Amino acid sequence: MRTKRALLNMLSSVLLQIVTIVCSFILPRLLLRAFGSEVNGAVASITQFLGYISLIEAGVGGVTRAALYSPLAHNDTIKVSGIMNATQSFFKKIAYIFIGYVVVLALTFKYISHAELSWLFTSSLVVILSISVFAEYYFGISFVILFQADQRSYIVTSLQIVVLILNTFLSVLLLNLGLGIHIIKLVSASVFLIRPTLLSIYARKQYNLQKSVPPDNEAIKQRWNGFGHHIAYCIHNYTDTVVVTIVLGLKWASVYAIYHLILNGLGRLVLALTGSSAAAFGNMIAKNEQEVLKKRFNMTETLSSIVIVSFFTSAGLLLFDFVRLYTAGVKDIEYVNIYVGVFFVISEALHCVKQNYHNLVLAAGHYKETQKGAFVEAGLNLGLSLLLAPVAGLPGILSATILATSFRIVDYAFHLKNNILNRRISTMIIRHSINVLNVLLVLLVFKLMPNIMPANYFEWTVKALKVVMLSLGITLSVNVVFYKENITDFLRLMRGILPSK
């Protein structure tokens, strides 16, 4: 059952990321053409600033998931209700604090961003963009965590797909009618209220959650041990845009947003393909199935390497042609930047590598044991970003993220040496050495081939299909040579869960 759910979660998550990527490419392009880099940068920057409120979650989301694995596995409704009541109470407090944060941000954003836009324009935009975030914290996010812990993420993702498509349709319609950015984003905020509302209704019926059960605050007491992990997550996701906005301005924030749109979208797609086993790992650990866990993780690690290497190497070969086409006609700043693109590809690829180990560590509930590494990663990322931004610009900020993420991967290698998998560090070193050689082999092959610059999206798509297929073929061949057993295990697993004729 858990394997089938993991597959269903993966498929729905992949579909969500594809829909997200398509919708994300449609809207920013139209907004960029309609309102310019300044407004596009303001929207991207405000969104990232609002995301900083998640710092005070203190890692409770991951801790709640880990706490729910065992009672869900044993159908303990009372325990689940207690944990959920404690979690909901916690997130509602965050929602109230968020209101105060929004007021401060609305009053100050124009000045900290050095925006040429009016104060009324930026402050009202902050308030509008905050609506859906408030709703998620007040009555939505706790149920998302519950579905994730029960390996039913497909419910959340399916609903999100519908909401995204509806939002994109309405936004394009309003843009074509010539309406302003505030009206468009207000309608978007209203659409995004649908998801938390429906999730709340469905979860209460599905799990027979009882409000009368006292909040089980003891179950989520590890949240402060998860705080370091959450800080590292927030800094990775939000710091770059904030530092770019403050140090370099909104137009550079728009440049960052375009590359982030493309490569973060690709990263989410990669994680959707490779990260759906987290809840299954938690279930195996809860049932003390150590050998099954080791075998499944080795298999997942191999598949993750194949996807990450082939997809991100392809991205490096295709990125600049796409950015050139996507930003054609926008003249207020140059968007094609080789250093920014290359560093962004490396940064997102390393983040996906890290998440593979991060998911296993958190599934085991090892928050306290790994929080020092999380704090160091966060400190490196933030400190180096602030240090390098004034002298090296956006490439310097991305370099800081690369160095911080690399440290965290090594830190996880040492933790896995003595815990959970109890395996040697050389196992990870060998794997990633093979991955680097794999990347160099793919680049060498394409270096020997003629480079054709596509003139439109159709030509780019044809080129992309060729690049991805060849890159995937080379990467798969390399992994068959070195990790044939893991690939065989995966094929055997798929045959066991897919319906036979």
Report residue 487's pLDDT band, with 50, 70 and 90 as the boundaries. Answer: confident
Number of Cβ within 10 Å of residue 419's Cβ equals 15
Helix (H) or strand (E) holding 117: none
Which of 36-45, 196-205, 378-387 has the highest mean predicted lDDT (pLDDT)? Answer: 378-387
* Location of structure tokens 């599905």: 206
* Segment 337-364, tens digit of pLDDT: 999 999 999 999 999 999 888 888 877 7
What mean pLDDT value characterizes the chain? Answer: 85
Lowest-confidence segment of 57-61, 127-131, 489-493 by average pLDDT:
57-61
Q: Residue 166: pLDDT above 70? A: yes
pLDDT the model gives residue 501: 47
Give percent above pLDDT 70 in the chain.
93
Q: Letter for the amino acid at 453?
A: M
DSSP labels for 291-344?
A: HHHHHHHHHHHHHHHHHHHHHHHHHHHHHHHHHHHHTTT--SS----HHHHHHH
Buried/exposed code over 61-74 (b: 16+ C-beta within 10 A; e: otherwise): bbbbbbbbbbbbee
CA distances from 90 to 50, 58, 146, 223, 421 (A): 18, 10, 15, 11, 33
3-state helix, strand, coil in the chain (%, to 5): 85, 0, 15
Q: Residue 135: pLDDT above 60? A: yes
Q: Residue 288: pLDDT above 50? A: yes
Half-sphere exposure of 480 (CA within 13 A, CB side): 7
Number of Cβ within 10 Å of residue 153's Cβ equals 24
Q: Residue 205: pLDDT above 50? A: yes
pLDDT the model gives residue 499: 53
Q: Residue 369: pLDDT above 50? A: yes
Q: Residue 201: pLDDT above 70? A: yes
Q: Residue 485: pLDDT above 60? A: yes
Dist. CA 298–CA 277, nearest whole Å = 12
Report residue 498's pLDDT band, with 50, 70 and 90 as the boundaries. Answer: low
- What value does the mean pLDDT take over residues 290-294? 77
**Of 472 and 423, the one with more pLDDT:** 472
pLDDT the model gives residue 464: 93
